[in-house]
Structure 1
Amino acid sequence: MTTNRMAVDDALTGAASAAGFDIAGAELIRDGSNVMFRLREGIVARIGRPGTRDVAQREVEVSQWLTECGLTVVRAIDAVTQPVVVNERPVTWWKLLPEHRPATPAELGAVLRALHALPAPETPKLPRHDPFTHLDQRIADASKLDDDDRSWLLDHLAQLRRRYREIAIEPGGVIHGDAWQGNIAVPDSGAPILLDLEAVSLGRREWDLIQIAVDYTDFARINSQEYCSFVAAYGGNDVTNTRDYRTFADIQELRWVCFALSKAEDDSGLAEQTRHRIACIRGDVPRPWSWAAI
C-alpha cells in the first residue's frame, strides 16, 4: 500500500468515527484528485487533497445552492457536519447515486445550458476560474520526468499563460469547471444529475465546452453527429469555430498531461502513458490521439 493510500485510509477511518458512520466493507469508487468510497446505507465518502478544506466546504454549499435553483445535482448528507478534516484532508459525505450511465453529448449540452443561465450567487462566494492551478507545481514535482521534457513543459506552460493573458477578460458567469460526459449521471428515470462540483466557479463559459470539443477535434472520441447534437442542445455556440479555440484546447490538454504526471508518482505503470501524452502535445504524434484513461 502506498503512503498516499495509507493517508487516505486513515482520513476515512477518522472521519467516519467522528461522523458515526460504519466503514466496514467500504468499496473504492474512484482514486483521482479526490478519492471516493461507497459505504453502507447509500453513503459516499469523498476525501480531498491535504489543505483543501475550503474547497470541500464550498462544494457542499454549491450543491445546496444549485438544488435551490432547480438543477438536479449530487446531494450532500444534511444530517452531519461537513466537512470532517483528518490530517488536513477534508472528508465530505454524499448520497449514493442511483444506477446510471454517462451523459450523451446532447444531454451534457442541455445541462450546461441550464447551468450557464444562472446568475452568480451571493452565497456561496465562487472563486474565479484559473485554468493553470497546480500545473507548475505538478511539473516541478514530477520525479520521473527527464530534463528535456520538464524544460519543454515549463516553457509550453509559460507560452500558454502569455497566450491566455491576451484573450482573458472578466469572468463570464457560473461554470462547472470540469464538464465532461462522465460528470453527468443519467439514471434510468429522472433528470440527469450534475456531479463533481468542486470546480464550480466564475469564468469564461468556453471552459465548459472545451473538453467535449477536443474529444471531437483532437481525439475522435465522438463523431460529427454527436458533436453537432451537443452544440445544438447547448444553444448553437460551437467553440471550435472561435478565434481562441486552440489556446483553450492546448491549455486543457496540458492539464490532462499534468494530471497524468501527478498520478504517475504513485503508479509506475503510468510512466509510459505519461510519456505518450507528452509526445502528443510536443507534436511528435499526429492527431487524432489515443490516450488511455487514468
Structure 2
Amino acid sequence: MTPYRDGQPQARLTRANLDAVLAEIGRRLGLDTRDAQLIKFTNNAVFRVAHASIVVRIAGSATMRQRVPKIVQVARWLAEHDVPSVRLLPGVPQPLDIDGHLATVWQAVPETGPKPSGRALALILKRFHALPPPSFQLPRWNPLEEIRQRLAEPDGIAPSDLVFLRDRCDGIEEKLGKLRYFLPSGPIHGDPFLGNVIGGPGGAVICDFDSTSTGPREWDLVPVAVGKLRFDYARDTHGELVTHYGVDVTKWSGFETLRQVRELKLVTSVVPILRSNPAVRDQWAYRLETFRRGDMTAKWSTYV
C-alpha cells in the first residue's frame, strides 16, 4: 500500500488503492477480507464481509471524510434511543484511520425481512423526528455547501460543467433563502429513501447518516417525492409515506425549490469519483444533460 505520492498524503480513494485500504482494516480487526464484496462505490466505498457479518464503509473523498466523526456520534445516539438503525461493530475504536482514509465498521443486517416500504420509512422518520436533540452538536442543514464541497474536488469533469453546476448552486441558494417552512425544525436524517432502508429480520432499519443535521423536517420528505418523479420505481413509496407520515410535501409551495436542491445533489453526488469509478459516468452524464436543459420528465437510473 502506497499512501503517499510526491511526499504528500494520497487522499483520494481509487479502485487502485481500495483493496489495500480494506486489507489494512482487516489486519487491524484480525479478519480475512479477501472475500469482501464491494456493494457500492459512489460517495463511499461499501464492502460486505459475509463470513464476519460486517459492513465496512470507507469515505470516498475529503468531503465525506469530514463527516465520519459525526456519523459515529449519530449512530451511537440512535442506538441509545433504540431507533431502528444500523449499529456500529462493538469493541472497535471508531472511526478507523488508514493512512488518512477514514472507515467505519458496522454489524451487517441480513436482508431477510419484508422488503422496505414507504410505510416502514414513515414510521422510522416519525421516531427520528420525535427524538430529543443529541448531547453533541449536529451541523446545521446546508445542502448547497455540501454540493460545493463536492465540486471543489472534481475527478474528471469538464471545466464548463463545473461552471454550470456552481452557477446553478448560486441560483438555487437565492430561492432557498426565501422559503418559509411549515414543519418544526430539528434533527433530520438528511437522505431518507428506500435505498437507505434495510429489511432486516427484526424489521426495517435505516442507514447512512452522512447528511444527518439540524434543519427543516420537510427536507426528509423530499427524497422519496423526487424519487417518484425521477425514477421508474414500481412501488408508490411516496404515496405510502404520505399516508403514514401524514404530510404530502409536494403540495407545499416550497417543494419545487427543494426538488431542485435534491436533483442537484443527485447530479453531483459522484463528481469526486467519476474517473475512479467509470461505471457511473454514463448515468451521470445523462443526469447532467437532462438537468441542464430543464427536462423535468426524464427518468434517471440508479448508479450501479
Q: TM-score range by the shorter chain?
A: 0.7 to 0.9
The reply on whether 1:92 has 2:101 as its aligned counterpart is no
Quick check: 2:58–2:102 contact (8 Å CA) kept in 1?
yes
* Residue of structure 2 aligned with 1:152, choices 164, 175, 188: 164
Quick check: 1:210–1:249 contact (8 Å CA) kept in 2?
yes
Partner of 1:243: 253
The reply on whether 1:75 has 2:84 as its aligned counterpart is no
Structure 1 residue 139 displacement after superposition: 3.8
Q: Give the gaps of 5 or more residues in structure 1.
A: none
Q: Could you tell me the TM-score, scaled by structure 1's length? A: 0.87
The count of corresponding residues between Structure 1 and Structure 2 is: 287
* Residue of structure 2 aligned with 1:131, choices 127, 143, 146: 143
Partner of 2:268: 258
The reply on whether 1:232 has 2:256 as its aligned counterpart is no
Distance 2:237 2:65 in 1: 38
Distance 2:218 2:234 in 1: 19
Structure 1 residue 292 displacement after superposition: 2.0
Partner of 1:288: 297
- Residues 48 and 143 from structure 1, CA distance in 2 versus in 1: closer, same or farther, beyond 3 angstroms? closer
SS at match of 1:167: coil
Aligned residue runs from structure 1 range 158-197, under 5 A: 158-167=170-179, 172-187=185-200, 189-197=201-209
Structure 1 residue 254 displacement after superposition: 0.7
Q: Give the gaps of 5 or more residues in structure 2.
A: 1-11
The reply on whether 1:21 has 2:21 as its aligned counterpart is no
Structure 1 residue 253 displacement after superposition: 0.2
Alignment-mate amino acid for residue 148 of structure 2:
D
Distance 2:149 2:237 in 1: 36
Q: Deviations over 1:151-193 (max 9, x none)?
A: 3322211101111122278981111111101111112x42211
Quick check: 2:116–2:204 contact (8 Å CA) kept in 1?
yes
- Residues 139 and 91 from structure 1, CA distance in 2 versus in 1: closer, same or farther, beyond 3 angstroms? closer
Structure 1 residue 28 displacement after superposition: 1.4
Alignment-mate amino acid for residue 253 of structure 1:
E
If asked which structure has higher relative contact order (CA below 8 Å, sep 6+), I would say 2
Q: Could you tell me the TM-score, scaled by structure 2's length? A: 0.84
Alignment-mate amino acid for residue 28 of structure 2:
A
Partner of 1:198: 210
Q: Deviations over 1:74-95 (max 9, x none)?
A: 1111112111101211122111
Partner of 1:221: 233
